[in-house]
Structure 1
Amino acid sequence: MNNINSHHCNLNIRYDLPDEVWDKVSKVYERMPGWIGYKNGVPYWFGTEEDDVFIEASVEPSGLSFYA
């Protein structure tokens, strides 16, 4: 039997920050462990949705959202 564990974290980082700030966030992404890059504009770590283990991030009106 497989256990599916998922986690969601939302950081209070405003979606409407200037592009130069988001460029810095992208540089931080690249330095994080497990970084594999972007797929269709979505940043991923350790794998993508097709894999058993992955982390993705998105920018939402509520803030910077991570899903694993």
Structure 2
Amino acid sequence: MNNIDSHNCNLNIRYDLPDEMWDKVSSVYERMPGWIGYKSGIPYWFGTEEEDVFIEASVEPSGLSFYAQMDSDV
């Protein structure tokens, strides 16, 4: 894995949604490929930031934000 590329994606999903909607988002996270769980409240797929390849999500005022470091050779 020599070619790691970073990617950002922001979805227009408001940070102030009701809790029952965020529960549904969490349920979707768990069904996505590569899901490994939460670490300090942050959802992760494929690994954590200590590893080369990972995806994480966070809720920001601008929306639901995903950050990924992925192997561009795959």
- TM-score normalised to structure 2 length: 0.87
Q: CA deviation at 1:67?
A: 0.1
Gaps of 5+ in 1: none
Tell me by how many angstroms 1:3 deviates. 3.8
Q: Tell me if 1:64 matches 2:54.
A: no
| Dislocated runs of 4+, deviation >2 Å | none
Structure 2 residue runs of 5 or longer lacking an equivalent are 69-74
Aligned pair count? 67
Q: Distance in 1 between matches of 2:42 and 2:54?
A: 12
Note the C-alpha offset of 1:5: 1.1
- RMSD of aligned alpha carbons: 0.8
Q: Which has the higher strand share?
A: 2
Percent identical: 90
